[in-house]
């Protein structure tokens, strides 16, 4: 079900319709659903451990002006996203240096950067400690209070 909602299984490979925000979605690729505001965070995180937090959050969605990346604007935006998920680390921190719970929060910040309206989390607490799970669930509640729908499989 999650793979259908996120465009991993393209329209036509399943029966039925997907209606989101009153509109039928006929996604042929993950990017199609991302444009509609739907994002998925898999149990196996999709972060490049050798890159920084900033580079991971903006990978494929870089902010540019006249073909040149605007690192100042991306840094400012990254800091706001990290604050939104209660993560007080530098955008220049290498993802491989973070714990699993922090990496999960970077994934959520990455999804928020795509203007997500529906966030789907695949077993988000499976590898987290009790404290990390509590923080994650608090963030999910906060996202919901800000109008972001969350579906999570436990």
User: What's the average model confidence in pLDDT over 66-92?
Assistant: 96
Q: How confident is the model at residue 4 (pLDDT cuts 50, 70, 90)?
A: confident
Alpha carbon distance 132, 68 (integer Å): 37
Alpha carbon distance 114, 39 (integer Å): 8
H or E segment and range at residue 118? strand 118-122
| pLDDT above 80: residue 1 | no
- Collect all residues with Cβ–Cβ distance below 8 Å to 83 and sequence separation of at least 6: none
Burial readout 23-38 (b: 16 or more C-beta within 10 A, e: otherwise)? eebebeebebbbebbb
Spatial CA neighbour of 81 closest among 56, 50, 47, 49: 56
Chain Cα centroid distance, residue 66: 27
Alpha carbon distance 52, 37 (integer Å): 24
Residue 44: the pLDDT is: 86
Lowest mean pLDDT among 2-6, 92-96, 136-140, 142-146: 2-6
Residue 3: the pLDDT is: 78
Torsion of CA 115, 119, 121, 124, to 10 degrees: 70
Helix boundaries (H) for 16-92: 30-35, 53-58, 71-84
The CB-side HSE value for 124 (13 A sphere, CA atoms) comes to 26
User: What's the average model confidence in pLDDT over 66-87?
Assistant: 96
The beta strands (E) that lie in the chain are given as: 19-20, 23-24, 38-41, 64-65, 68-69, 118-122, 149-153
Give the predicted TM-score (pTM) of the model.
0.86
Q: Which domains does the chain have, with CATH numbers?
A: 37-153 (3.40.50.300)
């Amino acid at each position: 079900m999650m793979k259908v909602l996120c465009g991993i299984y393209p329209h036509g490979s399943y029966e039925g319709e997907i209606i989101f925000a009153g509109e039928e979605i006929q996604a042929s690729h993950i990017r199609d659903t991302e444009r509609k505001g739907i994002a998925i965070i898999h149990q196996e995180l999709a972060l490049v451990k050798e890159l920084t937090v900033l580079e991971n959050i903006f990978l494929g969605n870089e902010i540019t002006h006249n073909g040149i990346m605007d690192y100042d604007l991306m840094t400012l935006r990254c800091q706001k996203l990290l604050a939104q998920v209660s993560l007080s680390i530098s955008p220049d921190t290498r993802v491989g240096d973070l714990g699993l719970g922090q990496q999960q929060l970077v994934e959520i910040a990455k999804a928020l950067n795509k203007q997500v309206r529906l966030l789907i989390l695949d077993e988000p607490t499976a590898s987290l400690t009790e404290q990390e799970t509590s923080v994650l669930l608090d963030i999910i509640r906060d996202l919901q209070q800000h109008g972001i729908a969350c579906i999570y499989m436990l």
